[in-house]
């Protein structure tokens, strides 16, 4: 009899439900996009119910497809969950309803909040880095919550009345999928998501009193921290009612697991809405001296955790969406790729895609999107190629920081995610990095990672050794084809373009006079 694992992959622009067999092969899947809301420049929001509804829809469509293959929903033994990280959802513990739209990880409204918090400590943005491994920046969940408490009365009122429950997307989904308010839904977050809030002690894996006091989050109801691989609860309704939710990982940690980066020194880079490189540092957290983040890589059940250094790029695939949706100059990623491939260079054009600031290793929230080097010769083809190059240059900057923090330079980089489907982009990446870029045949490694975590929890796999044959066939290796001299020249040009992106942010210090009301 088949042994199937379902994986909920809830991302920034879309949700998918993927069904794997025990060999790690995709049996079937369903994906849907949902609405992105940009109420002001630099603001990014979702309706929390859109996220939940998209999960239900994807599950039911995937189960229907599974039936067409001659299988049944009862063949699915467990469900894993992976999610966009750092996104904040607040809801009322008395009603179960959201108090405000979900504030997305890339949202940059909190620039002034970061400045205010930084001024509280002599260490500035590193005020809590010794506890949580993270700097104060617009990126992380706690800073977003501080903004809500300072600006949205319904949220601060809920805190004062002990009704304010908060969570990242994993918490919101697991709570509702296991019963919600009416049926005592499970309220948990796994260690990988908790490590992105700025509220968890990276060493003890518990909520930190020091961090909670620093942000003023007394009376805020936090979820229980759990491992990445254990049974949290069961589905309360739908075709998978009664099936256990048994794995949970933030999306980038899930990709690390899906790529089987289980050894110290293994690294992967995922090219999705943003781009994220993680470097497995083993059983002990490592504090970066070069602008990287310390994070939990995974924790399977009672086993000790693994840690990672991470470099994050805010804009990767979303730059293609911007060209498609905002400018209307390309129809899709395939057309952009074809246009980019029709020219050999960008003809000196650099596109710094700092739509909401720059993350690692720059950490400049005042940076904004900038196109440099335009001449009369510049065509759309050059800008399309510069769009692909932008994420590759930022990945190079992260790799350089990782090499400085580690004892040995990285020799090969495993890649996955939507943009990795482009041979051109991955060849550009190999050229700019000067090392091999290793791409698997099946690129749904984020979904695979959460499926692996869930499978371990219910005994489908019992050791990492059993995974060695999964997704290893048909890998493509991209090798650098340019000289070191040319690489240096290209990267120097990028560095100049980055500097020109600094200082453009128009920092908004006020909230619109009419408070935004979240309609339930």
3-state secondary structure of 169: helix
In this prediction, residue 441 carries a pLDDT of 85
Express each pLDDT in 21-35 by its tens digit.
Answer: 999 999 999 999 998
Q: Average pLDDT for residues 123-135, to the nearest whole number? A: 91
Prediction pTM value: 0.86
Judgement on whether residues 342 and 369 belong to the same structural domain of the protein: yes
**416 and 318 in a common domain:** yes
Percent pLDDT > 90 in the chain is 69
Predicted pLDDT of residue 34: 92
Cα–Cα distance measured from residue 443 to residue 79, given in angstroms and rounded to the nearest whole number: 19
Which of 98-107, 198-207, 442-451 has the lowest average pLDDT?
Answer: 442-451
Same domain, 49 and 166: yes
Residue 506: the pLDDT is: 61
Q: Is 454 a domain residue?
A: yes
131, 493 in Cβ contact below 8 A?
no
Residue 363 lies in a domain: yes
Per residue in 230-276, pLDDT tens?
A: 999 999 999 999 999 999 999 999 999 998 989 888 889 988 878 88
Coil, strand or helix: which one is 188? strand
Containing 309, the helix (H) or strand (E) segment is: strand 306-313
Confidence of residue 405 (pLDDT cuts 50, 70, 90): confident
430 and 345 both lie in a single domain: yes
Answer whether residue 511 shows pLDDT above 70.
no
pLDDT at residue 519, rounded to an integer: 39
* Residue 144 domain flag: yes
In whole angstroms, what is the distance from residue 306 CA to residue 311 CA? 17
Residue 508 has pLDDT above 60, yes or no: no
Domain count, the chain: 2
Measured distance CA(147)–CA(113) in Å, rounded: 6
Share the mean pLDDT of the chain. Answer: 91
pLDDT at residue 517 tops 80: no
CATH code for position 418: 3.30.420.40
Residue 203 structural domain:
4-259+443-467
What is the rounded average pLDDT of the residues 121-128? 90
What is the rounded CA–CA span in Å between residue 215 and residue 210? 9
Same domain, 165 and 124: yes
Biggest CA-to-CA distance, the chain: 64
Residues 359-375, mean pLDDT to the nearest whole number: 89
Lowest mean pLDDT among 199-213, 268-282, 298-312, 423-437: 268-282
Q: Mark whether 20 and 42 lie in a shared domain.
A: yes
If you count DSSP H runs as helices and E runs as strands, how many of each does the chain have, helices first? 15, 21
Question: Would 204 be classed as within a structural domain?
Answer: yes
**Predicted pLDDT at 347:** 94
Please tell me which residue, 512 or 277, carries the higher pLDDT value: 277
- When pLDDT is cut at 50, 70 and 90, the band that residue 510 belongs to is very low
**In this structure, are 484 and 451 located in the same domain?**
no
Domain co-membership, 180 together with 34: yes
Claim to verify: residue 112 and residue 219 sit in the same structural domain: yes
At 369-389, the pLDDT tens digits run: 999 999 999 999 999 999 999
**Does residue 146 share a domain with residue 80?**
yes
Peptide bond preceding 472 in cis form (omega within 30 of 0): no
Is position 205 within any domain?
Answer: yes
Domain contains 299: no
Full strand arrangement of the beta sheet holding 76-83: 26-33, 14-21, 4-10, 76-83, 244-250, 229-234
3-class secondary structure per residue, 450-500 = HHHHHHHHHCCCCCHHHHCCCCCCCCEEECCCCCHHHHHHHHHHHHHHHHH
Tell me the pLDDT tens digit for each residue of 176-223.
999 999 999 999 999 999 999 999 999 999 999 999 999 999 999 999
Residue 513 scores a pLDDT above 90: no
How far apart CA 411 and CA 408 sit, in angstroms, is: 9
The answer as to whether 402 is a domain residue is yes
pLDDT at 333: 86
Decide if 70 contacts 238 (C-beta within 8 A).
no
Residue (of 87, 146, 137) closest to 115 by Cα position: 137
Distance of CA 487 to the CA centre of its chain: 29
Do 225 and 370 belong to one domain?
no
175 and 85 in a common domain: yes
Taking residue 34's Cβ as centre, other Cβ atoms within 10 Å add up to: 17
19-72 tens-digit pLDDT: 999 999 999 999 999 988 999 888 999 999 999 999 999 999 999 999 999 999
pLDDT value for 518: 40
Please indicate, yes or no, if residue 199 is contained in any of the structural domains: yes
């Amino acid at each position: 009899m088949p042994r199937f694992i379902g994986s909920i992959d809830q991302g920034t622009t879309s949700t998918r439900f993927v069904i794997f067999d025990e060999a790690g092969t995709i049996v079937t899947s369903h994906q849907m996009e949902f609405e992105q809301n940009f109420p002001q420049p630099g603001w990014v929001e979702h309706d929390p119910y859109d996220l939940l509804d998209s999960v239900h829809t994807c599950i039911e469509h995937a189960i229907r497809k599974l039936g067409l293959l001659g299988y049944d929903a009862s063949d699915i033994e467990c469900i894993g969950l992976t999610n966009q990280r750092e996104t904040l959802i607040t809801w009322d513990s008395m009603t179960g309803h959201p108090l405000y739209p979900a504030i997305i990880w890339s949202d940059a409204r909190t620039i002034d909040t970061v400045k205010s918090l930084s001024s509280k400590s002599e260490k500035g943005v590193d005020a809590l880095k010794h506890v949580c491994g993270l700097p104060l920046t617009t990126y992380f969940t706690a800073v977003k919550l501080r903004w809500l408490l300072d600006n949205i009365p319904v949220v601060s009122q809920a805190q004062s009345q002990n009704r304010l429950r908060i969570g990242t997307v994993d918490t919101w989904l697991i709570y509702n999928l296991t019963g919600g308010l009416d049926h005592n839904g499970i309220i948990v977050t796994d260690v990988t998501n908790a490590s992105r809030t700025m509220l968890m002690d990276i060493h003890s894996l518990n909520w930190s009193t020091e961090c909670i006091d620093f942000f003023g989050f007394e009376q805020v109801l936090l979820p229980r921290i759990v491992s990445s691989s254990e049974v949290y609860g069961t589905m309360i309704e739908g075709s998978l009612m009664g099936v256990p939710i048994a794995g949970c990982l933030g999306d980038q940690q899930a990709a690390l697991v899906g790529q089987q980066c289980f050894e110290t020194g293994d690294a992967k880079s995922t090219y999705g809405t943003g781009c994220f490189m993680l470097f497995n540092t083993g059983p002990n957290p490592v504090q970066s001296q070069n602008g990287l983040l310390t994070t939990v890589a995974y924790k399977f059940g009672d086993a000790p955790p693994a840690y990672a250094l991470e470099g994050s790029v805010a804009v990767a695939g979303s730059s293609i969406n911007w060209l498609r949706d905002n400018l209307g100059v390309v129809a899709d990623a395939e057309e952009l790729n074809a246009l980019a491939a029709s020219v050999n260079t960008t003809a000196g054009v650099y596109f710094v895609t700092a739509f909401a600031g720059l993350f690692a290793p720059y950490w400049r929230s005042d940076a904004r999107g900038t196109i440099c080097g335009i001449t009369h010769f510049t065509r759309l083809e050059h800008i399309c190629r510069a769009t692909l190059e932008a994420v590759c240059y930022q990945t190079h900057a992260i790799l350089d920081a990782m090499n400085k923090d580690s004892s040995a330079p990285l020799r090969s980089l495993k890649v996955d995610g939507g943009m990795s489907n482009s041979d051109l982009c991955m060849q550009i990446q190999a050229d700019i990095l000067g090392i091999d870029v290793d791409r698997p045949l099946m690129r749904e490694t984020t979904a695979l990672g959460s499926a692996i975590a869930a499978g371990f929890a219910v005994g489908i796999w019992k050791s990492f050794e059993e995974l060695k044959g999964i997704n290893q066939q048909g890998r493509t290796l991209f090798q650098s084809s340019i000289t070191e001299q040319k690489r240096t020249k290209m990267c120097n040009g990028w560095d100049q373009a980055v500097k020109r992106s600094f200082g453009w942010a128009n920092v908004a210090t006020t909230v619109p006079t009419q408070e935004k009301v979240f309609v339930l």
